[in-house]
Structure 1
Amino acid sequence: MVKSVKFTKMHGAGNDYIYVDTQKYAIPDPSKAAIAWSKYHTGIGSDGLVLIGKPDEGVEADFSMRIFNADGSEAMMCGNASRCIGKYLYEKGLTSKTSIRLQTLSGVKILKLHLTDDANNINKVDSVTVDMLQPVFHNEKQYDEKAGDTLTADFRTFRGTFVSMGNPHFVCFVDDIQTLDIARYGSIMERDAAFPERCNIEFAQLMDDGTIRTRVWERGSGITMACGTGACATAVAAALTDRKGRTSDIAMDGGTLHIEWNEQDGHVYMTGPAAFAFEGEVKLPSAFGNFEF
């Protein structure tokens, strides 16, 4: 039986996902849906699929988020997607709160919405600050520390810093960020034996204006325009290696995110934009075979 599912395409600094409100539309196999819908030539086109729902029973949260990468794998967390969810919930009237508790697989994140009036004096979400909680540097499920802080990919050795923001990141500072073949090295490093669950790989360079130019090879999606958790991991790695203080502007392909690693509570706070792209309706067979718009 074919059913219609309404979706919203959104992006945070160019990191684009398909959003579905599962309170209205059930997605029986989100992994298969993510693979089919994420294809740019035959699907909707995106970095993955995000499901918005109610939190699990007993969890002190307002809403929940599940995120599936373009290859169908489920991610623990996505900073850019969480900002988009804040905008989605507020502007579609699903909440009037400007501080939202969002359940994710890496814990409950607090979204603080920053509002502005449009031309019709209607409140819109201009940007969102997400409390990404504390970074983790030792996680044997995500990183085998016996590998050390260097990885070799296709005869080039990179020195990096492992930072988990719920999902794993390996941040490598380089001096050729604009010409570096991200796909060549990132695809190899993602699946290095040091990372039992694979890993997001960030290549970063401190620029003359003080920003950190960062390019991302995202686990399960490949090159993406931005990665919120990756920006957080990059800022933390920069502070740990004395390249920057505890605040950084991370300039990614799709835009710039402001990151603060707060000294008092140890939490990482990410602020950045969220935007609607378009909406549509897709008819999807229950077996997730062929589908049509």
Structure 2
Amino acid sequence: MAALENRPFVKMNGLGNEIVVLDLRDGPLAVPPAEARALARRDVLPFDQIMALYPPESEGTSAFVRIINCDGSESQACGNGTRCIALYEAGRTGADHMAFESVAGRLDCTVAPEGITVDMGMPRFGWHDIPLAGPVADTRAIELQAGPAEAPVLRGPAVANVGNPHAIFWVDDIDAVDLARFGPELEHHPVFPERANISAAQILSPDHIRLKVWERGVGLTQACGSAACATAVSAARLGLTGRRVTVSLPGGDLVIDWRESDDHILMTGPAEFEFDGRLTADMLTAPADRPANAGAA
């Protein structure tokens, strides 16, 4: 029997970032990587992340959240997924303010008609915090490139940690960058011992950025909230933008405000319910792993 068989799920999205919410607070179970990968198949329940809710560990929080990517690996942060669980919790309890815990820290959320705001905490810029494989003098631009050595397509990214490691390459024309080609190589580059989210960013104005993201453990994605945050603060550090910007991703826009009073990042954007259901054994088991008499997916 699959570990998660018969557990209820809610399918949601944040700017097209496909999210599955599993509320496991009444019966905490680990999410087996093999079951996550089976569930993520295109003909089953494709998702970018599972947001698994567990009993809270600190007073004043609604749940401890673990974030599982579609390849079965675990992520430390997912801004779009956090907006989804905030909307889920608001629907369940009627509250418009709530907080979640994660391995990356506390996530305070506000649900309002104009959007859902998540306090993503303070960004980290030290090379050991990102982490990088070794010390660098300035994380606003590190020595890294992709493409031909004599004419690199991407070079000199800013790096930051906003729950996850991020590398942001500044480009003149985002549409000219084949991130599906360079993303896998850069995600697994030896400079990133824990892999990294890879972004291509185009500055449109001091308060507007276009962004495409290759997400660690996921691939090309319609939106990545933590990447939008990392890009916004990195642009501000370089003087390319102010501290409040709109970040336009393929799935839509996020407003990022790097609050000057305490350096916390506030991310505001939408989330949507799609449908709900219960997980079945066939959904959670890849065909090669099933007994001979098991039904097809």
**TM-score bracket relative to the smaller structure:** 0.7 to 0.9
User: 1: distance between equivalents of 2:27 and 2:20?
Assistant: 13
Give the residue type in structure 2 aligned to 1:83: R
Counterpart position of 1:113:
111
Moved more, 23-32 or 65-74: 23-32
Task: State percent identity of aligned pairs.
Answer: 34
Secondary structure in structure 2 of the residue aligned to 1:171: strand
Match of 2:184 in 1: 187
The 3-state SS of whatever aligns with 2:156 is strand
Deviation per CA, 1:72-127, whole angstroms, max 9, x where unpaired? 10000100000000100111x2x232211100110011001114xxxxxxxxxx52
Contact 1:28 1:286 in 2 (8 A): no
CA contact (8 A) 2:61 2:100 kept: yes
Using the alignment, how far apart are the partners of 2:17 and 2:39 within structure 1? Answer: 15
Q: Which amino acid aligns with 1:276?
A: F
Letter of the 1:74 counterpart: E
SS of the residue corresponding to residue 9 of structure 1 reads: strand
TM-score (norm 1): 0.88
Query: One-letter code of the match for 2:280?
Result: K
Alignment correspondent of 1:80 = 80
Counterpart code for 2:230: A
> What is the deviation of 1:25?
5.6
Q: What are structure 1's unaligned runs of at least 5 residues?
A: 116-125
Cα distance in 2, alignment partners of residues 46 and 232 from structure 1: 21
1:65 matched to which residue of 2?
65
Tell me which of 198, 203, 214 is aligned to 1:206. Answer: 203
Q: Structure 2: which amino acid aligns with 1:132? A: M
Give CA-to-partner distance per residue, 1:108-163, whole Å, 9 cap, x none: 11001114xxxxxxxxxx52101111100014262235466131223224111111
1:118 is aligned to none
> How far apart are residue 61 of structure 1 and its match?
1.9
SS at match of 1:140: coil
Q: CA deviation at 1:208?
A: 5.5
Amino acid at match of 1:128: I
Which of 122, 142, 154 aligns to 1:149? It is 142
Residue identity opposite 1:143 in structure 2: L
Q: What's the counterpart of residue 96 of structure 2?
A: 98
User: 8 Å contact 1:18–1:46 — kept in the other structure?
Assistant: yes
Between 1:3-12 and 1:180-189, the stretch displaced more is 3-12
| Aligned mates of 1:242, 1:186 — CA distance in 2 | 26
Q: Take 1:217 and 1:114, find their aligned partners in 2: how far apart are those partners?
A: 29
CA contact (8 A) 2:36 2:284 kept: no
Contact 1:34–1:48 under 8 Å retained in 2: no
TM-score by length of 2: 0.87
Distance 1:236 1:55, change over 3 A: same
- In structure 2, what residue type is equivalent to 1:75? S
1:226 partnered with 2:223: yes
Distance 2:250 2:31 in 1: 31
User: How far apart are residue 54 of structure 1 and its match?
Assistant: 1.6
Partner of residue 120, structure 1: none
Q: 2: distance between equivalents of 1:195 and 1:104?
A: 22
Q: How does 1:240-255 map to 2 (within 5 A)?
A: 240-255=237-252
Match of 2:42 among 31, 40, 51: 40
Deviation at 1:38, TM superposition (A): 1.2
Contact 1:38/1:49 (<8 A) preserved: no
Change (3 A) 1:35 1:59: farther
How far is 1:28 from its partner?
Answer: 4.0
Aligned positions, number: 279
Amino acid at match of 1:4: N
Name the CA distance, whole Å, in 1 between partners of 2:32 and 2:89.
Answer: 21
Amino acid at match of 1:163: A
Bigger strand fraction: 1
Tell me which amino acid in the other structure corresponds to 1:144. Answer: A
Structure 1 residues 158, 4: closer, same or farther in 2, change over 3 A?
Answer: same
Match of 1:50 in 2: 51
Q: Which runs of 5+ in 2 are unaligned?
A: none
Which amino acid in 2 is paired with 1:52? L
> What's the RMSD between the two structures over aligned residues?
2.3
Amino acid in the other structure paired with 1:55: P
